[in-house]
Structure 1
């Protein structure tokens, strides 16, 4: 029976090996302090935090995240430890919330390694505090108990650590935030939160009979919890994006030259219809997966949410498996150290017996964890097999049959698939990587040697050609998923090296103009788009969108730049940075095909541009990090099958639809 604690209440802990799970509506720093009998922290070596995540009997997360799993072995703690405090703090300097009163109340639970919940506590009543002691595990008369604390500190980590008697509290707090900032620099943007209804919808279908997956933490206990893959929009659809990108409002083409409408085209004020129900499962079997089993306004939004649910399930079940393996390894090392610390055990067969026993226990723990993982992965693979054929074109891979029945859409989709993501535990289980539309961040297609094996085996010219083919495929997909005339693509190809990859775009006539070449061509395109951004900005800020010049193209704009920085002078680079910073809010987006090393001649002036764009690669590469469970995901580019004409056929329909427009 789970004990739902209130502030100040305690509960006995029935076992020594535990997991403390934290769920919050925003990335938080999770740590723990070990205290002596007087409740004081003697030194920094008694604090587990992202910069130093491992202590005897304790392991915490290595970076800020919305979900955390802290591993605790009470028997492995030093005998001088009488208390363990679980700390939560908001990261500083990341543009996120600065006080807990502005976010959902954090939820903390203590579970056994089997996933069974022992006690839980929702940390309510916080306002201006930016750090909080959530739980306290303490030993009294040889018995360990957990107490709900909920003590907040407006002064943040420094004040909280100082209150626990740590002499170097301010220095350690700064070091912790520096370690968190370093980890977040490479992290993808957080997805939007799920609601309790959305969790319930998925629990009643594909996860209803999977007690093991629930024990691994599939369902978020808090209605506003966001996780590494917390699936996206909830009613009404949020502005926050799924995947490593952001979303902004869509400025559709005004009919008859009227004002631009920057309202979200899908915003509703009524409740969404319920998701479809799964067919009943046979006794002892998992429920059969159903495409669209998440909540949403439409089947498109249900599938969108379901993809995020699959991403969440994969992230969490792999995190649980890796945590179990790490715990088993740590346990084995501790047992060996303890057994072999006695010189007498090194004589005869005692040492070998101790090693064999420790190894056997480790193998048993890992084996059980692998069984749970394989079961969950098999269920996810079955769900992927059902979901993939049901995806709309914007979410579907190029080899999906849905493209054979393609028709130019009448409205902008919610999101766009830009690739696939997978983890090493199951490389064939790939989750669509979706970014919200309209794009908030552009794309940087890396044409250099990214470090992946595939890239290292290729010549530089081959990599550049592959990067340009990837960029052209993304541009074609963007044109295909927008209504006719509502998306315009401009291309800068200073030396003409991208002509082969651009052939489907140029030959179909879907580009705004032939690719710009040379320094003059670069300057002309950049000046035109810069002027468009300035005009729309002034019109929107002044509330005079009906006063825009009649010939101004109010469609979404994409600037595809090949072979950067070739053909760019200092003025052109400045304009490019301006477009990256100011363009997305008024419908102008960048797609750069470049090698960062080649662009290094500009020094730090290009760092903001690099950070403003989402980096993808033309070859599989493990460069995307999520800040929620700390996984490094392998990105797989989205390309049409070799020899396929699907892109040309789709672009032919796009071009025909554009020619039929009355203007």
Structure 2
């Protein structure tokens, strides 16, 4: 049995898999059969107590059974979901620790422990998805502050009067999602997907994010094989050299020298084969990336891609930079995350001014990700580091940038109030998905901010998805702060290091990568064009 971590995946070899979960809270288990855009295509694609069966998927006694060969050919994945049982007393803190379990042919194959940080009452625990001609399992752990109703809405399920989450009316398929194609990784799916266009696009997936993560996974596994081969060759060489000189009576003989040379030769041959395989894999991935770059939506493409000159195109993610390792060759893999941001981004820097090109690139890509929705940006910039971005961004700024620390609380509170109103609407059964994509840029944090401001940002982490909010924080890493609220906030964010030499580790093999963050091009005319391209 494998203990999965968020984002990790593993091949499935069984014919039938079974999903169950346990927690301190009473749970309802359900499943969604989705297309590549993670949206249902038909009413029966939601399997729950009132509709316990669809083609290849059955719910019985709190267990979802999936007969992989029977899944519809046009389905890309089955999302395995838990939610709070509405008939049980409300548990403070939401679901608590959830342990999801998957069996293959009645043998436990994988387990995934999820600890929601924000009291979420609905979770996508696992995803069983197609990969080529086979199937794989991915640990997701995506929580929804709006509960099961919000989760279902985000995946194209229409709910008739969200009064009782478990007894929601049988869903109707989103008519605009037929034939759509898209995504699937823990960090790849998230709240807000319901508002993105789902028309067919000539890439492997509709909005591109999953394709880039597939390439990243392939690169990670090839890198791990190379690292393992090098380590093995070094260990074997050391052992064989030690054996060649272990006998003092023969260590200086021609036979010992021949043994040493043979050991070096075997080591060199092993490394040469491994490096040849890795080079072959890298060249294939480089060609795949070059082809994709001409077809991806702008928010995921390189700055040099011709798609920036073409019509706007919706995307399910944004590009943050490129991952590489000098000792493993020239391959550079785009590092991407979903939008709206399912976790706040924290740009680690001692200088907001130095991070301005990173912030500019991030904002340009957030603007381009969803051209069908209005973007509203709240900017807190106490040091004036982003003054050069204000002009091009004026049409989307939600008021002047906050440059006085005395004005921070009011701006944050306005966002908190909007999120709380959206939460009340949800609780009253009248919630509608946000029509805007809102962005909060909180620079120079936590200096100049009041203690309550960190709590406000923490509240937005819990409820911000209800208003379509993506949060970006700029400041030094505060994960070890003496202020527990600031430390918890920092620990909950996705950190982007700006200092050279800070490694990131891929979620599949744990191999180290260096991240070169995306930078807005220096030329003023290009900066203005990218920042205005999809306003």
How does the TM-score come out when normalised to structure 1?
0.54
Question: Secondary structure of the equivalent of 1:465?
Answer: coil
Matching residue of 2:105: 124
Matching residue of 1:626: 506
Matching residue of 2:136: 224
Aligned length: 414
Contact 2:319/2:336 (CA < 8 Å) preserved in 1?
Answer: yes
Residue 483 of structure 2 is aligned with which of 596, 603, 615? 603
Q: Give distance in 2, aligned partners of 1:615 and 1:606.
A: 14
Matching residue of 1:371: 276
Residue 349 of structure 2 is aligned with which of 423, 442, 447? 447
Matching residue of 1:492: 380
Residue 342 of structure 1 is aligned with which of 247, 251, 259? 247
| RMSD value, Cα | 4.4
1:208-258: CA deviation from partner (whole Å, max 9, x where unpaired): xxxxxxxxxxxxxx5124499xxxx9998788546xx3533328xxxxxxx
1:430-471: CA deviation from partner (whole Å, max 9, x where unpaired): 2222222222112111113xxxxxxxxxxxxxx532313311
Matching residue of 2:17: none
1:314 pairs with 2:219 = yes
Gaps in structure 1 of 5+ consecutive residues: 1-21, 29-62, 69-91, 106-121, 132-176, 182-189, 201-221, 252-262, 276-290, 449-462, 656-663
Q: Give distance in 2, aligned partners of 1:266 and 1:415.
A: 13
C-alpha distance 405-127 of structure 1, shift in aligned 2 (>3 A) = closer
Question: Secondary structure of the equivalent of 1:630?
Answer: coil
Q: Give distance in 1, aligned partners of 2:218 and 2:506.
A: 14
Contact 2:191/2:465 (CA < 8 Å) preserved in 1?
Answer: no
Q: Give distance in 2, aligned partners of 1:492 and 1:584.
A: 20
Question: Secondary structure of the equivalent of 2:516?
Answer: strand
- 1:654 CA displacement: 4.5
Contact 1:248/1:585 (CA < 8 Å) preserved in 2?
Answer: no
Contact 1:469/1:502 (CA < 8 Å) preserved in 2?
Answer: no
1:559-588: CA deviation from partner (whole Å, max 9, x where unpaired): 101111122111112112222233235422
- 1:650 CA displacement: 4.2
1:533 pairs with 2:435 = no
Q: Give distance in 2, aligned partners of 1:488 and 1:621.
A: 35
1:250 pairs with 2:231 = no
Contact 2:436/2:468 (CA < 8 Å) preserved in 1?
Answer: yes
Q: Give distance in 2, aligned partners of 1:330 and 1:420.
A: 32
1:27 pairs with 2:4 = yes
Q: Give distance in 2, aligned partners of 1:626 and 1:574.
A: 31
After alignment, is 555-564 or 607-616 more displaced?
Answer: 607-616
- 1:502 CA displacement: 4.0
Q: Give distance in 1, aligned partners of 2:404 and 2:218.
A: 49
Structure with the largest fraction of strand: 2
Residue 322 of structure 2 is aligned with which of 420, 425, 442? 420
C-alpha distance 65-347 of structure 1, shift in aligned 2 (>3 A) = farther
How do 1:33-48 and structure 2 match up within 5 A? none
1:158-186: CA deviation from partner (whole Å, max 9, x where unpaired): xxxxxxxxxxxxxxxxxxx9xxx9xxxxx
- 1:383 CA displacement: 2.3
1:479 pairs with 2:367 = yes
Residue 646 of structure 1 is aligned with which of 511, 519, 526? 526
Matching residue of 2:234: 329
Residue 465 of structure 2 is aligned with which of 584, 602, 605? 584
Q: Give distance in 1, aligned partners of 2:468 and 2:531.
A: 21
Matching residue of 2:290: 385
Q: Give distance in 1, aligned partners of 2:419 and 2:304.
A: 36
Residue 430 of structure 2 is aligned with which of 540, 544, 547? 544
C-alpha distance 324-573 of structure 1, shift in aligned 2 (>3 A) = same
Contact 1:422/1:634 (CA < 8 Å) preserved in 2?
Answer: yes
Residue 199 of structure 1 is aligned with which of 123, 127, 132? 132
Residue 563 of structure 1 is aligned with which of 400, 425, 444? 444
Contact 1:248/1:584 (CA < 8 Å) preserved in 2?
Answer: no
Matching residue of 1:524: 410
Residue 358 of structure 1 is aligned with which of 251, 260, 263? 263
Q: Give distance in 2, aligned partners of 1:129 and 1:436.
A: 25
Q: For the pair shown, which has the larger CA radius of gyration, 1 or 2?
A: 1
Contact 2:348/2:497 (CA < 8 Å) preserved in 1?
Answer: yes
Contact 2:183/2:210 (CA < 8 Å) preserved in 1?
Answer: no
